Structure 1
Amino acid sequence: MHQFVETIRIEGGKPINLPLHQARMDATRAHFAPLVAPLDLQKWLEASPLSNERIKARVVYDVNGVRETSFEPYRKRDIQSLQLVEDNHIDYHFKSTNRQQLNHLLTLRKDCDEVLIVKGGLITDTSFTNVAFYDGQQWLTPAQPLLNGTMRQWLLQHNKIKEAHISPASISSFQRIMLFNAMIDAHELELPIANISSF
């Protein structure tokens, strides 16, 4: 049976972007079991420890309900370089616990810290974040990401980023790349475009 996961940032005891996580979980479960009753995600976060640290909550679930919850202090990865890799068959439309394809691509990063995945001739995501590119005036995010992350949705809703089709050849026209996800805010992790290695 498919298992899925919501990774939720908790700061000051408050879940961040919880409605977007709730909506994604509801949509995922409804896709695989259309008549399934919704789960209250908030209920499963009540055991979160009181802490001034950024807490990573991980809720594993399937169509029958929540299977596991865990909480731990978040430790940000040190990402300084990205390696372009290509996979035209990868599918991570649903945030699954099965990361086999992503983990395989990560082994192709050579001397870089992380991969930047190309599918169908277009930039998508890294193995664990959405991305956006700065052209000197605005931040553009790939229109066809592997996963429509909750932070990506929030940034689009608040007009902080715009969607665009971005090819590997067009990367050089940008100045910076930003990596973000539910745990990493916009502008917390930015790199110069020169830090992206081509195929």
Structure 2
Amino acid sequence: MPRKLCFETICVENRVLKNLSGHEARLNKTRRELWGFTDYWNLTNLITIPDSLGNETHKCRLAYENEIDNIKWELYAPRTIRKIQRVYHDTVDYAFKYDDRTELNALFAQRGNADEILIIKNKMVTDSCYCNTAFYDGAKWLTPSAPLLHGTQRAFLLANGMIEEAEIKEENISGFSHVKLFNAMINWENAPALDIDVIA
């Protein structure tokens, strides 16, 4: 069976790669668990920021398996989220950050006139198509304990006590006041707190 490429999306601000240790940890864990590689990649030595990149926020997309397949650089343009559509899939699997997002893209295509989706798996809240999620209960921000993908920003926020894990069922959604979508490109401070009513 051929190996599938995986990738990391790394935020670049003012020509600095952000949270590189988090991406490095996940990349090396993926290489070990998926393919049995035991060597450790130091991303600082493997990624060189092109001279052409300015100080604006950019996205560094590194695709890899036994070696780096390609590195792409793109100016980052944040999206505005006004509506989130619930979609359902009880067997969707994205435990590793696969380059092939066919299954997620098929779910995203079900969004109708919404800007983003919220994936419900076996009656449990997981992630959006591109982000991990957190919900505000009036006192603290809770993130689903069983996300589709363990994001690097999510790991950072948990480690710093800014969010807490919780089992969140679909039926619990209305009990929260706000939702945040965040990922490597959208840090906690830049993730807007959206009214829970944006979730359809």
Fold conserved between structures, TM > 0.5? yes
Matched, 1:193 2:196: yes
Check conservation: 1:178, 1:187, Cα contact below 8 A: no
Counterpart Cα distance in 2 of 1:161 and 1:125: 15
Which residue of the partner structure matches residue 108 of structure 1?
A: 110
Counterpart Cα distance in 1 of 2:78 and 2:193: 13
Counterpart Cα distance in 1 of 2:86 and 2:35: 36
Which residue of the partner structure matches residue 179 of structure 1?
A: 181
Check conservation: 2:15, 2:49, Cα contact below 8 A: no
What TM-score does the superposition give when structure 1 sets the normalisation length? 0.94
Check conservation: 1:44, 1:69, Cα contact below 8 A: no
Q: Secondary structure at the match of 1:22?
A: helix
Q: Secondary structure at the match of 1:125?
A: coil
Task: Tell me by how many angstroms 1:168 deviates.
Answer: 1.4
Q: Secondary structure at the match of 1:133?
A: strand
What TM-score does the superposition give when structure 2 sets the normalisation length? 0.94
Matched, 1:51 2:50: no
Which residue of the partner structure matches residue 33 of structure 2?
A: 31
Q: 2:20 aligns with which of 13, 18, 21?
A: 18
Check conservation: 1:80, 1:195, Cα contact below 8 A: yes
Counterparts in 2 of 1:1-199, with a 5 A limit?
1-48=3-50, 49-62=52-65, 64-188=66-190, 189-197=192-200
Amino acid at match of 1:135: D
Check conservation: 1:45, 1:57, Cα contact below 8 A: no
Give aligned-pair identity as a percent. 38
Note the alpha carbon deviations across 1:97-119, whole angstroms, 9 max, x for none: 01011000011112211110011
Amino acid at match of 1:103: N
Note the alpha carbon deviations across 1:34-71, whole angstroms, 9 max, x for none: 24422222233213444221110000001x20000011
Check conservation: 1:82, 1:114, Cα contact below 8 A: yes
Q: Secondary structure at the match of 1:20?
A: helix
Q: CA RMSD in A?
A: 1.2
Q: Secondary structure at the match of 1:126?
A: coil
The unaligned stretches of length 5 or more in structure 1 are none
1:168–1:32 distance in 2 versus 1, CA, 3 Å: closer
Q: Secondary structure at the match of 2:173?
A: helix
Amino acid at match of 1:161: I
Counterpart Cα distance in 2 of 1:53 and 1:131: 26
Task: Tell me by how many angstroms 1:12 deviates.
Answer: 1.6
Q: Which moved more, 1:187-196 or 1:16-25?
A: 187-196
Counterpart Cα distance in 1 of 2:35 and 2:181: 33
Counterpart Cα distance in 1 of 2:76 and 2:47: 16
Counterpart Cα distance in 1 of 2:22 and 2:189: 20
Q: Secondary structure at the match of 2:127?
A: strand
Counterpart Cα distance in 2 of 1:121 and 1:91: 15
Counterpart Cα distance in 2 of 1:70 and 1:61: 12
Task: Tell me by how many angstroms 1:15 deviates.
Answer: 1.1
